[in-house]
Structure 1
């Protein structure tokens, strides 16, 4: 308290009633600062100098309430200390100490009679936090020191840019984890399975590596470049886009983001085999299928691509030939009738390719080749296979 008056410079005593002040300092001839001793009721404060004793001024002792704590937030922190906590209660305005167990807080600030902010000192285990005021020491609230987490591994180490996949984090001291982040982005959700495992759902991200961080009341642990976002594959073409029902032929898939491919499928059937040539190309061996189109897709850690169409073709069938014979010198045309002739790529006349015209899926007109008199096989080749040969007979010129 501050005493103001005149003739105070030679003060030899300050009394609260008959009790000397706990201490006092003469600031000037007109001011003294003094620390009140313990007391009760209303007393007269006087100053004694060689010139005599001053008049008295009234000072009233008021009973200080015992502080009471109702909550502490957060109620856990790192063993290294430094956690800022907020204490809520009553009768806190005169606080002279905040203790975590028997250790004083690193620092504290009285915000109001109902709130104090304090910085936890280093410690271990669970301790009682108390506040001391002139009215006494409060009840204790539990504060738990948590060990710093250690993130050891992430599995899988890559996933789609769209996120949504589950990633398992392995390490130590994961209990009470408060956040998991991929780069700067929080996980969509996470579950603390045990003190050594967390299952987290990866958020969306951009292609490339990011750090993964686990935060607990004990601190944070970061594994740099622990998770790689992979772009979903994109297909633009399959060449050739048709093939036989038996499969076994090789097709080339073109697109982008193909380098991480883990599967190639024709409909729901996996390719017999595939090889990644580059980020833009995959060569795949087609599996067997049924007549008609199927969607071809590529799957990687980044997801499954858009589909491109591939069509399974039945082998061509030649039902009839007209005419069935002609001059050995050739030069005439022959009409083949059957099914699956539309995609004809070659007609073999006695094993030799000949020119042809596709009229429809059921008719092909071919040019007869010259050759020795006698029967010759004609077959049609399409991406679906080769037809069963039909016989055409070359007839020699008559001799007289």
Structure 2
């Protein structure tokens, strides 16, 4: 006759499915395992001293487990059926993320032991791990924008408190920058226009954080450009929906002038002066001392200006979005006395 000595575990859910290791003697050739008179869903004879069996569904309470062998039925051992504990979700952190998914969230609550599924708005989590009876980490799946109830499931029970949701947010998008250029020293206040800016947590210029920024509305941010090397830098806004599309901002080095030819002319003005140097493409002003001069940009290295009227020796300077150059002298020749 087979003899049973222990069940592990000795407690399971009323919905069945608990895999129980039955230990004893004389178990070779076992032909049946029952829980409270109900056949096990399945069983495997491992050895003369061990059988594994999957508990069938059964009402809550005690159920006697027996094994039938070639020589008869074993002594019974008690297995306790318990109604499954309904899992309860209380919080999800973070509570929002992008529609393409991929956000790792921590789900807090109770009754998580044995959870077999986690869904966001009905879509299965990309992955999940049950850390404890009160915590699960899950990776959000792809989902449309809006609230997605977070539900955890285990045999016989879905979580309650479906009001707990993860909010999917569309990615931010930048449509324009005003202005879209400034000096390498930074400090330019840039108006960023687009969509999905509510809750933005960062603004960067070429990977460098903005010196400061303010979210004015879902469609507008003002940001102060940081210092950056000359060239194009991509502006990106990070919002709950993820990083935005990028927009180009041009950093312009301060202009440098190396020569003024000719470097003198009559006090009445009118002399055509060729100013040579570098970084002159975006020239916005040419000055002879305090007096502005009309000018034409010929190339990144050359500007032609018409000297205004003046007196004495003045400094010729040139201004671009990158700043104002250092000056070179220009000498006004007084008219001869008659």
Deviation track 1:159-198 (CA, whole Å, cap 9, x = no partner) reads: 1111112110111121111111111111111101111110
Alignment of 1:250-265 (within 5 A): 250-265=189-204
Post-superposition CA distance 1:3-23 (Å, at most 9, x none): xxxxxxxxxxxxxxxxxxxxx
Q: Between Structure 1 and Structure 2, whose CA radius of gyration is higher?
A: 1
- Structure 1 match to 2:247: 308
Higher relative contact order (CA 8 A, sep 6+): 2
Structure 2 portions without partners, runs of 5+? 1-10, 19-29, 39-54, 67-71
Residues 1-400 of structure 1: pairs in structure 2 closer than 5 A: 76-77=12-13, 83=15, 99=36, 120-122=58-60, 127-128=62-63, 142=79, 144-145=81-82, 146-217=84-155, 219-221=157-159, 222-371=161-310, 373-400=311-338
Distance 1:319 1:129, change over 3 A: farther
* Shift of residue 321, structure 1, vs aligned partner: 0.5
Q: For residues 78 and 274 of structure 2, what CA distance do their matches in structure 1 show?
A: 100
The CA RMSD over aligned residues, in Å, is 3.7
Residues 374 and 91 from structure 1, CA distance in 2 versus in 1: closer, same or farther, beyond 3 angstroms? closer
Secondary structure at 1:224 match in 2 = coil
Aligned length: 310
8 Å CA contact 2:60, 2:81 repeated in 1: no
**Cα drift, residue 234 of structure 1:** 1.5
String of CA shifts for 1:325-359, please: whole Å, max 9, x gaps.
Answer: 11222223221111100111112232233321100
Is this contact kept in 2: 1:209–1:225, CA < 8 A? no
Kept in 2, the 8 Å contact 1:157–1:228? The answer is: yes
Post-superposition offset of 1:381: 0.7
Distance verdict in 2 for CA 1:369–1:99, change over 3 Å:
same
Cα distance in 2 between the residues matched to 1:340 and 1:307: 25
